[in-house]
Chains A and B, each alone.
Chain A
Amino acid sequence: MSTYAHKKGFGATIWDYLTTVDHKKIGILYLMAGGFFFLVGGLEALFIRVQLAVPNNDFVSAGLYNEILTMHGTTMIFLAAMPLIFAFMNAAVPLQIGARDVAFPFLNSLGFWLFFFGGVFLNCSWFLGGAPDAGWTSYASLTMEAHTHGVDFYILGLQISGIGTLIGGINFLVTIVNMRAPGMTYMRMPLFTWSSFVTSALILFAFPALTVGLFLLMFDRLFGANFFDVAAGGNTIIWEHLFWIFGHPEVYILILPAFGIFSEIFATFSRKRLFGYSSMVFATVLIGFLGFMVWAHHMFTVGMGPIANAIFAVATMAIAVPTGIKIFNWLFTMWGGNIKFTTPMLYAVAFIPSFVAGGVTGIMNAVAAADYQYHDSYFVVAHFHYVIVGGVVLALLAGTHYYWPKMFGTLLNETLGKITFWLFLIGFHLTFFIQHFLGLMGMPRRVFTYLPNQGWETGNLISSIGAFFMGIAVIILLINVVMTQVKNVRVGNDPWGDGRSLEWAIPSPPPFYNFKQLPLVRGLDPFWIEKMEGKTEMTPAEPLGDIHMPNPSFLPVTISFGLFVAAFGALYHVDGKDWALPVLFVGMGITLISMLLRSVKDDHGFHIHKEDFENEDKGGRA
């Protein structure tokens, strides 16, 4: 009961975050950890571009370049983009459906800490003999040849953080199915909730494929199994299939929530209902479904034969249809609207041409016979950066500005925000547009350098200059964050003035129980409906009563930490180190004992009593 409405000391705040099961605080943890890894991955990107700025450069060595390249991809996908998506899912989804928390608050915390320790473990490789160097795809023939522990860090680190992601996905599925407020039917859910729902389903089906692949690789590398050892009858192409059966849906796992965030922003700042809501929902589900049917387009050159290639080519093209529907729906949401160009809206507007460019090159890649030329060239690098940076990263930056007031109760500076936006956008196009042509001019991807006189000098130099624009943009964003939090100007429920969904009907940040009384939802954009009737609050769906809340717990940290320790034991056991086995057992012990404690200890949570609300002053603590 003492967890709210107090100003706390530094140590107490840290402890609070270590033990929290509150989705809003977990959202902040995801934002901070994901943001940190985003900076690390960004730094790696800058190193890559410095190395490639001029031919025959020796800024980094060949081996180190491969490590940086691998860690850039792995970090950005698994440790930056995914957690940042989870940050916004945690921050917004329970509020959008009118819930007091997610379905499994303890698991929510466990998911975060597993991701965090997995990510830290993976990055420990930098200091322990070298990072993984086989690309973020870690194709098996190359990983089997790797002689350092880098790849083992990759396998174990991703395995641990992968469990976290899977747990998170299941949690959000259950939350959205079970925890919707009265009147919040499926077809009244905001589009960000819808896309989170579909993304969670994709996680549920896609991550097991990665888990299986990583397990096989782990058995090969750590225990001498022969799944991928060709000499012993293994087959490395199986890895490619397993990886892409996970890897392609992963692209949609990232992009769908991005679509969701933009859908919210378009509607809000156009002051208009989302155009074609039901077709948007339908398109989201369809993209998710088709996302599982197309993985082999990453493997057109593997030698699957023309029949498989043709089928996967046509299936891939089909995805353009629902994606096109979305683009036009966004355009027509703005059509006839009253558009305010706030920073989030600028990102959303810039997203349309950027993502369309990435989408059309995706279709070009789908043309199997032509893809034989694009595949593994810089054309592909340009393509997926257009969809991931032009789609996902723009959405994450937009979401940061858009949800910042709801998460922290302050509004990021708009001028600095717009400077960040322009620098980032210009840098992004400068960096990646030219790479299409580099690829077509014959430049393979993942090269640590290139010889002069192949016609690639100018393009690479331009690309490297662009990267620094993005770097400066991110620094300005950080300055913006610090300045805003130091000034600490508090904002009200609906700081953008045009909020439509439930999260804007409650204080910023919301009290830890979110809704004193669950709101009654009367249609799509419930808060907008109430506002149009002249009200400033939602109509409650229940009388004021006691609220049941979960207790905080430190166990998610210890469960995850145990696996982190055990992973070191497993990794060094191969070297025959004496201490490796004990470390493995100690680590597993910490995890299993923590799980046992969780099982045997009765934790019924606590109640906030009706009377407390009457004494409470407005709002909670940031």
Chain B
Amino acid sequence: MRKRLHKWRLISIFAILALALSGCGEPFLSTLTPAGEVAKKQYDLMILSTVIMVLVIIVVTVIFIYVIARFRRTKKNENSIPRQVEGNHKLEIIWTVIPILLLLVLAVPTVSYTFQLADVSPMKQKDKDGKTKDALVVNVRANLYWWEFEYPDLGIITSQDLFVPTDKKVYFNVKSSDVKHSFWIPAVGGKTDTNPEGENQFWLEFDSKGSEKVQNQFYGKCAELCGPSHAYMDFKVQTLSQDDFNQWTQDMKNLKKPAAVGDLAKEGEEIYNKSCIGCHANTANDARPEKARTAPNLANFGDRTRIAGILEHNEENLRKWLQDPEKVKPGNLMTGKYQKLDDHELDALTAYLMGLKLEQ
């Protein structure tokens, strides 16, 4: 038995080693490859707590292995009765006090970091027009099963792809327009629930070095069970340098009513105006109130990285989505909101939507 136990321990050690060598997950998605101040702080806490905990585990394991190896019943001592020890005050005090001390070591940074991560005071400083003074604010609105990102001070609304400048704190107002979701960008930091009542605020910082490593794209996730397509409620984060970001905001603002190019796209525009415009918008400065914005903004749809947040961005997948959204994302709210499209209509609409791009 003893041998077997040893073997088993060895195997588990190898398993851990193999895991460590195989890396820490994908850098665009893993909390173990932090690419921003918040995730780094959280990573530091993980390491600190892991070190303390491994310390505890080592002490327990040493005693544990010694005890089960040393005090086994054998043929020789089968009938011996061990001394009935009641306890030992000194030992008991030791293993009460030491854990308390270890926990204090952990509690201090925990409390300090918890307050640091909750510091959103810059987003409360407004100038006389009601705009935030120095901070970039993004309103995140979670919906069944898509994300809206509104830049209130810039007058831009976009969906599914979040654009942010690097090396700068970005402040988020997060809320939900239906059930509870949770806003999470694992590699950059997280996470905050989007509640149907009231807004939550927090900040993230996307560092440029980390962004380079992942070609300026991080994965975002919904982390709260929200229905059948919870697993598909992904979004992407595009990081830009401050200059590129300024350029992007300028382009988005200038994006007026899109002009459809080509006959097919023009036909698509007609279909869009007939069937889609009730929910979707095709300009970034959608002036409708929040309640009326019941579907993702499509202003820069042609530039997106994914169809419906999950499929590769190409015409084939867009057709597939438009033909039967339910097949792609079960339980989504687009299914059944428009009449069935025939093959030609699908082609036309696809051509039109793929043409909704920022001018380069």
Residue of A nearest to B81 (CB): A271
Known: A276-B92, A331-B60, A334-B71. A321 touches B99 (CB 8 A): yes
- A235:B197 contact, CB within 8 angstroms: yes
A44 to B234, CA, bound (A): 26
Q: Which of A442-474 contact B (CB under 8 A)?
A: 442, 444-451, 453-456, 458
Q: In the complex, how many residues of chain A place their beta carbon closer than 8 angstroms to a beta carbon of chain B?
A: 94
CB <8 Å contact, A451 and B73: no
**Smallest CB–CB gap between A103 and chain B, Å?**
31
Other-chain contact of A369, B41, B176, B193 (Cβ < 8 Å): B41
Q: How far is A135 from B182 in the complex, measured between Cα atoms in Å?
A: 15
The complex places the Cα of A618 from the Cα of B48 at a distance, in Å, of: 62
Q: Is the CB of B227 within 8 A of A313?
A: no
* B287 in contact (CB, < 8 A): no
Task: Indicate whether A338 reaches chain B with its CB closer than 8 angstroms.
Answer: yes
Instruction: Evaluate contact between B45 and A341: CB separation under 8 angstroms.
Output: no
Pair B68/A339 contact, Cβ less than 8 Å: yes
Known: A331-B64, A442-B186. A340 touches B230 (CB 8 A): no
Of the listed stretches B153-161, B217-225, B266-274, chain A binds: B217-225
Question: A336, B110: Cβ atoms under 8 Å?
Answer: no
Q: Please name the residue on chain B nearest to A449 by beta carbon.
A: B231
Asked whether, in the complex, the Cβ of B106 is within 8 Å of the Cβ of A455, the reply is no
Partner of B110, one of A310, A429, A434, A455: A310
List B contacts of A448 (CB < 8 A): 228, 230-231
| Contact across chains for B118 and A305 when beta carbons are under 8 A apart | yes
For A442, give its contact among B4, B31, B228 (CB under 8 Å). Answer: B31
Secondary structure at chain A's binding surface: helix, strand, loop or mixed?
Answer: helix
B91 interface hit (Cβ, 8 Å): yes
Contact of B86 among A273, A314, A367 (CB under 8 A): A273
Interface residues of B in 7-35 (CB under 8 A from A): 8, 12, 15, 19, 22-26, 29-32
Chain B residues with Cβ under 8 A from A494's Cβ?
A: none
* Smallest beta-carbon distance B200→chain A, Å: 4
B193 touching A454, Cβ below 8 Å: no
Is the beta-carbon distance between A373 and B31 smaller than 8 angstroms?
yes
- B339 in contact (CB, < 8 A): no
Q: What separation, in Å, do the CA atoms of A273 and B1 have in the docked complex?
A: 25
> Is B107 a contact partner of A317 (Cβ separation < 8 A)?
yes
Nearest-neighbour CB distance to chain A for B95, whole angstroms, equals 4
Which residues of chain B from 173 to 215 have a CB within 8 Å of any chain A CB? 176, 178-180, 182, 184, 186-187, 189-193, 195-198, 200
Q: Give the interface SS of chain B, mostly helix, strand, loop or mixed.
A: mixed
Chain A residues near B113: list those with CB within 8 A.
Answer: 369-370
Cβ–Cβ < 8 Å partners of B182 in chain A: 301, 375-376
Q: Which chain B residues border A426 with CB–CB below 8 Å?
A: 8
Chain A residue nearest to B20 in the complex (CB)? A437
For residue A134, CB closer than 8 A to chain B, the reply is yes
C-alpha gap A188/B198 in the complex (Å): 53
Partner of B219, one of A271, A306, A352, A454: A454
Q: Please determine whether A62 and B50 come into contact, CB atoms closer than 8 angstroms.
A: no
Chain B nearest Cβ from A282, distance in angstroms: 10
A272 contacts the other chain (CB 8 A): yes
Q: Give the complex CA separation of A187 and B31 in angstroms.
A: 48
Q: Which of B4, B73, B116 has the most CB of A within 10 A?
A: B73
Query: Quick one: which of A103-158 are within 8 Å of B by CB?
Result: 134-135, 139, 141-142, 144-145
| B351 interfacial by beta-carbon distance below 8 Å | no
A310, B111: Cα distance in complex, Å: 5
* A318 to B25 alpha-carbon distance, docked (Å): 32
A residues less than 8 Å from B116 (CB atoms): 369
Distance in angstroms from A508 CB to nearest chain B CB is 22
Is B252 engaged at the interface, CB distance under 8 Å to the other chain? no
Measured between beta carbons, the chain B residues less than 8 angstroms from A370 are 42, 45-46, 49, 110, 113
Using a CB-CB cutoff of 8 Å, which residues 99-116 of chain B contact chain A?
99-100, 103, 106-107, 110-111, 113-116
- State A75–B26 Cα separation when bound (angstroms): 35
B90: min CB distance to chain A, Å: 11
User: Whole-angstrom distance between the alpha carbons of A337 and B74 in the complex?
Assistant: 12
Q: Which residues of B48-100 have CB atoms within 8 Å of chain A's CB atoms? A: 49-50, 52-53, 56-57, 60-61, 63-64, 67-68, 71-73, 77, 80-88, 91-92, 95-96, 99-100
Check B276 for interface membership: any CB of A closer than 8 A.
no
Determine whether the beta carbon of B91 is less than 8 Å from that of A334.
no
Q: Which residues of B contact A331 (CB under 8 A)?
A: 60, 63-64, 67
Complex Cα spacing A349 to B65, Å: 10
Give Cα A192 to B113, complex, Å.
Answer: 40
With the chains together, A456 CA to B29 CA distance in Å?
10
Task: Give the residues in chain B near A278, CB-CB below 8 Å.
Answer: 87
* Contact, CB under 8 Å: B85 / A336: yes
Beta-carbon nearest neighbor of B99 in chain A: A324
**Does B295 sit at the interface, judged by CB under 8 A?**
no
Within 8 A of B (CB), among A300-339: 301-303, 305-306, 309-310, 313-314, 317-318, 320-321, 324-325, 327-329, 331-332, 334-339
Residues in chain B near residue A361, CB distance under 8 A: 53
Q: Which of B22, B72, B189 has a CB less than 8 Å from the CB of A372?
A: B189
Give the complex CA separation of A63 and B329 in angstroms.
11
- CB atoms of A373 and B67 under 8 A apart: no
Contact B198 A303 (CB under 8 A): yes
Contact check, A360 vs B57: say whether CB atoms are below 8 A apart. Answer: yes
The complex places the Cα of A353 from the Cα of B57 at a distance, in Å, of 8
Are the C-beta atoms of B29 and A372 separated by less than 8 Å?
no
Chain B nearest CB from A178 CB (Å) reads 28
The listed residue (B57, B84, B310) touching A357 by CB distance below 8 A is B57
How far does the alpha carbon of A362 sit from the alpha carbon of B18 in the complex, in Å?
24
Give B105 Cβ to nearest chain A Cβ, in Å.
11
B143: min CB distance to chain A, Å: 12
Docked CA distance A368–B219 (Å): 23
Please report which residues of chain A, range 266-292, place their CB below 8 angstroms from some CB of chain B when the two chains form the complex. Answer: 270-273, 275-279
Are A442 and B95 closer than 8 Å at their CB atoms? no
> Interface digits, A364-380 against B, CB 8 Å rule (1 contact, 0 not)?
10111110110111000
**In the complex, how many angstroms separate the beta carbon of B222 from the nearest chain A beta carbon?**
7
Complex contact A372–B192 (CB within 8 A): yes
Residues of A within 8 A of B192 (CB): 301, 303, 372
- B226 interface residue, CB < 8 Å from A? yes
B39 adjacent to chain A (CB < 8 Å) = yes
Whether A373 lies near B190 (C-beta < 8 A) is yes
A212 at the interface (CB under 8 A from B): no
Determine whether the beta carbon of A455 is less than 8 Å from that of B115: no
Asked if B354 is at the interface (CB within 8 A of a chain A CB), the reply is no
**CA A250 to CA B91, docked complex, whole Å:** 31
A450 to B233 CA separation, bound complex (whole angstroms)? 11
17 extra A-B contacts, CB within 8 A, seeds A62-B229, A275-B85: A271-B81, A272-B84, A276-B86, A332-B88, A369-B42, A373-B46, A373-B191, A376-B182, A434-B19, A437-B25, A440-B31, A440-B32, A441-B24, A442-B26, A442-B29, A442-B186, A454-B26
Closest 7 A/B residue pairs (Cβ)? A441-B25, A442-B186, A447-B231, A303-B200, A360-B53, A62-B228, A276-B87
Q: List 25 contacting pairs A-B, 8 Å CB cutoff, sorted by A.
A: A141-B180, A236-B196, A271-B81, A276-B92, A279-B87, A302-B200, A310-B111, A314-B110, A317-B106, A317-B107, A325-B95, A325-B96, A332-B88, A334-B67, A336-B71, A336-B83, A337-B82, A340-B73, A360-B57, A364-B50, A367-B49, A370-B45, A376-B182, A441-B24, A448-B228
Q: List residues of chain A with CB under 8 Å of any chain B CB.
A: 61-63, 66, 134-135, 139, 141-142, 144-145, 230, 235-237, 270-273, 275-279, 301-303, 305-306, 309-310, 313-314, 317-318, 320-321, 324-325, 327-329, 331-332, 334-341, 349, 352-353, 356-357, 360-361, 363-364, 366-370, 372-373, 375-377, 422, 426, 429, 433-434, 437, 440-442, 444-451, 453-456, 458, 532
What is the interface of chain B, defined by CB distance below 8 A to chain A?
Answer: 1, 4, 8, 12, 15, 19, 22-26, 29-32, 39, 41-42, 45-46, 49-50, 52-53, 56-57, 60-61, 63-64, 67-68, 71-73, 77, 80-88, 91-92, 95-96, 99-100, 103, 106-107, 110-111, 113-118, 176, 178-180, 182, 184, 186-187, 189-193, 195-198, 200, 219, 221-231, 234, 310, 330-331
